[in-house]
Structure 1
Amino acid sequence: MEVLYILFTLVFLPIFYIVVFFGSKRLRENIDKNKLRGISNLLGRLGYKPTRDDLRKRLKGFVRIISYIFYIVIIYLGIISVSQIFPSTRQYGRRFLELLSEPLDVALEVIYQVVVLVLKFIVLGVLAYIIMWILDRVLTLIIARGYSRRARVRRATLRTIFKVVKITIVVIIAIYFVLSIPITRSPYFYWAFLSIVGLLIIVMLPKVIDVIAGVIVPFIYDIGPGDLIEVGDHFGLIIDRGLVSVLIETRGGGRDQIPTRSLVWRGVRVVCQDYEKLNLWLTIDIDSTEAKIVREIEEALRSDRELKGYEVNLFIKSIFEMNMVVVAMLVLPSPTPFWRAEVKGIDAVNRVIQKHHRTCVIKSEVGQFT
């Protein structure tokens, strides 16, 4: 019997080690050479799209971990075979195991708890991912059903509501996971947990108020991307409406974020809904009372290259002794934001007026088709 253990130790274990060593090395080399299209496509279908370099790095790390596990098994088998070959080592082995029995039990219990927590975390993560996927599919189906001309705003409202639902689900799952950790069963932990939550709420109070306001806003104001709004000193076109803020594009072409609490506290003045239906009104003071000048200016504006695609109409609003007020209505070509068209319109009118050697004062306003 001892001969078999000697053969096992001197022949099988070295061969096993060589196979594991060179096998893992060859696998890592093949991972570097392979394009990994099949694995990339499979992970892409599951919603995870890593780069090839990242995928190679992770696969090589996985192979290295497996090889380390085999090395540990080889060492363990070697210890057992040596103890069988030399009986005197068994007593020392037993005493050594007796000394290690208590810390080993503790270590095994800790490892077991960690493994359970990791598995629970994975299961809860998969569950959260499935719930999010179902919510996204439901939202897509609801939007795909079609609405009236205000469907654009309803989509923004639905996305906000679904975002609140998603955040609530994630918070509930996270709290459940934290409370499932054994150390959290202590009453001291509950008080510490509540204190931390209270401090976080105090520190993040503005964000919490923004979230609450973000839930309320869809039920108060029917606004969404493409609407022109004014909130206090903020004025511009809505680019995106999130849960905690609204992103607008200002006159200068820059972007500004308005906290949702400002929408509730200051109120929203909707200047125009759907900028594709905007008209630009230019009020022009001309230092003349001749009506033919209005026709000349109108024809010049219609033939101006910068206003190609614009519909131009001029109306005499009022005539005084030395001057008259003319209103120029420019219908914006879709989908040009009004302030870009406004700059073009004002520049074109100034250019045309200067050609006629007239001075003018221009005031722009925004209107909408009814």
Structure 2
Amino acid sequence: MEPSRIPARLDAQAGLYRSLLTGRRMLVVLDNARDAEQVRPLLPGAPGCMALATSRRQLTGLAAAEDAHLLTLGLLSRAEALDLLTILLGLHRTAADPEAIREIIDRCAGLPLALAIVAARAAAQPGLPLARLAQELRLAESRLDALDGGDPASRIRAVFSWSYRALHPEGANLFRLLGLHPGPDIGLPAAAALAGVPVAELRAPLTELVRGHLLAEPAAGRYSFHGLLRAYAAGLVATHDDAVGRAATRRVLDHYLHTAHRADVLLTPQPHPELLPRPTRAPRPRSCRTISRPKPGSRPSIRCCSPPCGRRRPPDSTPTPAGSPRRSPRSSTGMDTGGRWPPYRQPPWRPRDARRTRRARPRPTVASAWPRTV
């Protein structure tokens, strides 16, 4: 078609495009679409035609208004990743070093592009041992550098940046800060403490990250991302103000500390419980009645935030006086940081009876078995 016949307005161009498809059977492939608004003018209207659109974002608007069928492609499983590497490298090479293959699959987090980049590097250098590639991926600092195919389309850091640059400022800031969280996943209250904003203001950025596939929600209210995205987010934090990262880390640790302290007071009511300093600009921890039963999946995050006894304290914390006994990483109830009672001790009474017997019962003797610490 001559350029002079193409109309200037977008709606007129879409009408001409659909008229040219009338009476034909065509499959229109729209790859790497930015959003639903970019796809909508290119949808064919004639019977016998179909459009296939791929995007890094969830195109829920097309499903609601255009009756599109959404298909979400997740990460590859171990078996699928092994099949992909076997196709790209050959069975003789993958079977020669199965331990290196398993580590490569784990470090690539089942991401097809990352696996393809590693396979391309191994195919380009037949003499390069797969164990050497696995060693490069083992270090978090150089993991993204090892996944570099030489051009922007095959550079994992550049591919992540395309989705990151499309975020709003609030979503981009939250994505960077999530790279500082030590646990495998994070809950909504802890994420609000990390960002230093109320929970109500955090729902929109979290939704944006989930729709952009920069964050996953494996369970209701629990958010996580794979190791490659975590390394990318941590690298973005390092390029920004380091003081912002330290303040965010302190806020989320304060959140876990005060939440664990409230649970400790609930499980073992005391006449004069220890008072903690006010947390640094973080959402108020939930009341004791709402945290008596921890949510599934929250225990690994609390355990990652609880350093073992003897680990160096944060620079801005109060040092332990010389000659003082080393404190045990246990609460005043005698429970460990995972929320389990030792096998040789039983709780003095059930938590649901604590409020009824708080005044009638003295402080339990089990509290003297462990040094007090929160």
TM norm. shorter chain > 0.5 = no
Q: Is the strand fraction higher in 1 or 2?
A: 1
Work out which of the two has the higher radius of gyration on C-alpha atoms and give 1 or 2.
1
TM-score normalised by length of structure 2: 0.24
Q: Is the helix fraction higher in 1 or 2?
A: 1
